[in-house]
Amino acid sequence: MQQYRILVVDDEEDLCEILQFNLEQAGYIADTAFSAEEVIEKKLYDYDLFLLDIMMGEISGFKLATHLKKIEQCANKPIIFLTAKDTETDKLRGFSVGADDYISKPYSINEVMARVKAVLNRTSRSTIAVESEPNKPLKDEIIEFEDLKLNLTQKNLFINDQEIILTKREFELLRFFLKYRNVVLSREQLAEEIWKEESFIQGRTIDVNITRLRKKIKPYDKNLITRQGYGYIFS
């Protein structure tokens, strides 16, 4: 039976020790780090799961998660956020940077153990499926809304069976809106998700890309609504 290795990252040392003890009691190998800077010095590819706090020193858990996803050996490793930041905006941002689960403090240790087990079971099954059938084509992942079909595997869009050519930014914007349909997304959230590799993005840049997207997705342009003072919503 595989023994999973888990890295717990939190600037509260007592909390790290409690989580480490309970994870080891459950049969996992658990290591701790008290800052994102400390994590970056470790051999990260050794770990099967990362438990991250968000509010930590100069490098936040969000930034650390983004860093992990850019490392080839860690890109598919699951991340669970354990944090006191529990607003809907915080949760959406967490999932947008690659989190597999999000647990708000205060939490029970039993809940954390259950979610750790569920995430590891889910991700390990996906890994086994891909490794056992390496030559089998992956099934296309498609998001559908009425006659609009966004193919995430082939990176294309069809409306009424007619292909619509999108730029990479337009494609990612539409994917994000469809993933969080009926949720108002702020310019800050869009910038974090779509322009995450750029240090500064003007709101005008986002507005221009959304205007271009609207022109291309007719008649669904009416579904992409501006909420003045808040952002945008696809409903």
Q: What are phi and psi of 139, to 5 degrees?
A: -70, 135
Span(s) in the chain for CATH 3.40.50.2300: 5-132
- What pTM value is reported for the model? 0.56
Among 108, 13, 99, CA closest to 56: 13
Q: Provide the token pair at 7.
A: 């890295």
Span(s) in the chain for CATH 1.10.10.10: 142-234
Q: How many helices (H) and strands (E) does the chain have?
A: 8, 11
pLDDT score of 130: 44
The fold of 142-234 is: Arc Repressor Mutant, subunit A (1.10.10)
Give the type of residue at 46. D
Tens digits of residue pLDDT in 179-203: 888 889 888 888 888 877 665 667 6
CA distance 216 to 212: 7
Total residues found in the chain within this entry:
235
Q: Would you say residue 97 has pLDDT above 70? A: yes
Architecture of domain 5-132: 3-Layer(aba) Sandwich (3.40)
